[in-house]
Chain A
């Protein structure tokens, strides 16, 4: 069993819809929870990070972490065609120079 599980999709929604992406994990030692966006033939870029449990909002994006359930989510409001990409959840045990454990990624397509 992988440490981080993520539905690979693909997920296709119309422009303006609310998108919900999620991951589950098994290692309770994870403290930092991240969401990366990766466009085709590009490296991942950090969208948001959350430390421990709770919610974090940044513009149209909201990240939620529920450590008791070992479940994290990313919500995208008012989705745009430019949001079409692969979204990777990721986790770390500590922030100071440690390895990131990634989910397999969900491919998202926003239809105009």
Chain B
């Protein structure tokens, strides 16, 4: 079946511009996550949705970053007044509904959107 998809795959913008990054999770997955991966680093958590609501947004670096998931499926990460330091790969992941079964609730990652701020 289809995995997590992210669009665009690459985005080049100028400092100060506004960008939107889209994530389509695996069908039926209720949890959705955004991470940011800078060059040579591991992914860093930004925000997590359970359904339509943000359950944990503690990783958002400042108020220029905002994310929505209005219908509990597709999510959009929005970055206002972009800065050169925002350049990174933005990864989205999704995981299935919480289960009472013992085991690991795997997060499935998309290929990412490579954002370059000039």
B95 within 8 A of A: yes
Is B42 a contact of A88 with CB atoms below 8 Å? yes
| Whole-angstrom CA separation of A51 from B42 in the bound complex | 21
Contacts of A41 in B (CB 8 A): 111-112, 114
Contacts of A46 in B (CB 8 A): 106-107
Look across to chain B and name the residue whose beta carbon is closest to the beta carbon of A97: B31
From residue 73 to 89 of chain B, which have CB atoms closer than 8 A to chain A? none
Is A104 a contact of B40 with CB atoms below 8 Å? yes
Is B43 a contact of A95 with CB atoms below 8 Å? no
A22 within 8 A of B: no
Q: Given the interface contacts A41-B111, A45-B109, A95-B103, does A105 sit within 8 Å of B41 by beta carbon? A: yes
Is A95 a contact of B104 with CB atoms below 8 Å? yes
Q: Given the interface contacts A43-B110, A45-B109, does A103 sit within 8 Å of B42 by beta carbon? A: yes
Q: Given the interface contacts A43-B109, A97-B31, A97-B50, does A102 sit within 8 Å of B104 by beta carbon? A: no
Is A99 a contact of B48 with CB atoms below 8 Å? yes
B20 within 8 A of A: no
Is B42 a contact of A97 with CB atoms below 8 Å? no
A76 within 8 A of B: no
| Whole-angstrom CA separation of A101 from B4 in the bound complex | 20
From residue 36 to 65 of chain B, which have CB atoms closer than 8 A to chain A? 40-45, 48, 50, 55-56, 58-59
Q: Of A4, A99, A104, which contacts B56 at CB under 8 A?
A: A99
Which 3 A-B pairs rank lowest in CB-CB distance, beginning with the nearest?
A102-B42, A43-B109, A99-B45
| A97-B95, A99-B58 known, 9 other contacts, Cβ within 8 Å | A43-B109, A43-B110, A45-B109, A88-B43, A95-B105, A97-B31, A99-B59, A104-B41, A104-B42
Q: List 17 A-B contacts (CB under 8 A).
A: A4-B42, A34-B104, A41-B111, A42-B111, A43-B91, A43-B111, A43-B112, A44-B91, A95-B105, A96-B105, A97-B48, A98-B56, A99-B48, A99-B58, A100-B35, A103-B42, A104-B42
